[in-house]
Amino acid sequence: MNTLSRRRSTLSLLSAGIFAAFTSRSEAHDPTPVDVEAAAWGGTASGQLPARGGCAFAPTVGTTLGGVGGRVRVRPIATRADPDHGWQMSAQGAVEYQSNTALAEGSDHQTAVPDNQPLAGGAVDVGYDWRYFGAHGGILVRQTYGAPEIPVNDTGTEARPDQATYPNTTASAFPQVSLRGGPVDGFHGELGVGAYTPAMVMRPGLHAGLGYSTRSGYDVMGRCGLQSSTRDTGALRCDLSGAVPLNEQVSLGVGGAVVDSETRVDFDARASVIVRFGR
């Protein structure tokens, strides 16, 4: 009887030890927090096309646009208790269809604008987040309109700049930098260069922002700054966005902006779905 009791006690201790070991291991190796965002947007933009050089100036183009894109954020050393702390790696991309019209002619009565077409871009960055401060840096690359092609007359002796066209695109690089002051789950400020959403990959710029967020997923953010509408010009942009959680893993986001260029006032709006894993 004593032997049976000792066996039962030994089995109970072994079971408790195995359970404790696996529990400890599970807590020590939390799943890596990963945020996946899918976004769609539409609106208008405007700006002056790249000039052909010298004293010349190019036509001003008005663009009606619609696009889709996404972003993935990974925090490899974060934990369930503090998912926003530590190293962060982020990648985002966008594909946008642009329909162009001439708003103002350039030198020599030039009114040709690029054909309607899709353009694409992407950005990557890496950084570190502390409780009250975060810093991130990387690079953004996007398609922009290239320099114009200038035809010659029938004899091939004289250029016709009034008939210049924009048939080509080129790759344009832009820095991707952001600085945060204040807690992620509270009031915080932001200074940035580049694209703060996938929709901004195609028109990066400079911005300053102020917002409030909660760990559960509620978020509101206002930003103002300059955006680069085309390769050669920029415009003043003011943007307001927000997000509402459906549950612990899924949030819905919306945003809109007013853009004041030299020629007209433009508007754009976006919607997104954010899914969180490992939280």
pLDDT of 244 > 60? The answer is yes
Q: How much is the pLDDT for 164? A: 83
Map 159-226 to HEC letters.
Answer: ECHHHCECCCEEEEEEEEEEEEECCCCCEEEEEEEECCCHHHHHCCEEEEEEEEECCCCCEEEEEEEE
The greatest distance separating any two alpha carbons of the chain, rounded to the nearest whole angstrom, comes to 115
Question: Could you tell me if 190 and 211 are in contact, meaning their C-beta atoms sit under 8 angstroms apart?
Answer: yes
Tokens for 12, please give them. 């109970």
Which one has a higher pLDDT value, 15 or 119?
119
Q: For 236-243, which contacts have Cβ atoms below 8 Å and span 24 or more sequence positions?
A: 236/260, 236/261, 237/205, 237/207, 239/207, 241/197, 241/270, 243/217, 243/218, 243/219, 243/272, 243/274
pTM of the model: 0.83
pLDDT of 62 > 90? The answer is yes
pLDDT of 11 > 60? The answer is no
**Could you tell me the pLDDT band of residue 25, with boundaries at 50, 70 and 90?**
very low
Which one has a higher pLDDT value, 234 or 254?
254
Say how many Å lie between the first and final Cα of the chain, rounded. Answer: 49
Question: Could you tell me if 213 and 242 are in contact, meaning their C-beta atoms sit under 8 angstroms apart?
Answer: no
pLDDT of 20 > 60? The answer is no
Mean pLDDT of the chain: 86
pLDDT of 69 > 70? The answer is yes
Distance CA 76, CA 35 (A): 12
Pairing type for strands 133-145 and 219-228 reads: unpaired
For the segment 156-176, the average pLDDT, to the nearest whole number, is 84
pLDDT of 219 > 70? The answer is yes
pLDDT of 272 > 50? The answer is yes
Residue 205: which of 162, 142, 263 has the closest Cα? 142
Class of domain 30-277 as given by CATH: mainly beta
Question: Could you tell me if 9 and 16 are in contact, meaning their C-beta atoms sit under 8 angstroms apart?
Answer: no
Distance CA 22, CA 133 (A): 35
Which one has a higher pLDDT value, 233 or 43?
43
Which amino acid type is present at position 11? L
For the segment 43-68, the average pLDDT, to the nearest whole number, is 85
pLDDT of 53 > 70? The answer is no
Span of 89-103, 148-162, 175-189, 223-237 with lowest mean pLDDT = 148-162
- List the alpha helices (DSSP H) in the chain: 2-28
Q: How much is the pLDDT for 18? A: 41
Distance CA 148, CA 53 (A): 10
**Could you tell me the pLDDT band of residue 165, with boundaries at 50, 70 and 90?**
confident
**Could you tell me the pLDDT band of residue 207, with boundaries at 50, 70 and 90?**
very high
Domain boundaries, the chain: 30-277
pLDDT of 107 > 90? The answer is no
Q: How much is the pLDDT for 158? A: 65
Question: Could you tell me if 100 and 116 are in contact, meaning their C-beta atoms sit under 8 angstroms apart?
Answer: yes
Q: How much is the pLDDT for 259? A: 96
* Strand partners for 127: 88, 136
119: CB partners within 8 A, 6+ apart = 95, 96, 98, 142, 143, 144, 169, 202
Span of 54-68, 94-108, 190-204 with lowest mean pLDDT = 54-68
For the segment 193-216, the average pLDDT, to the nearest whole number, is 94
DSSP assignment letter at 122: E
Which one has a higher pLDDT value, 205 or 23?
205
Q: How much is the pLDDT for 8? A: 54
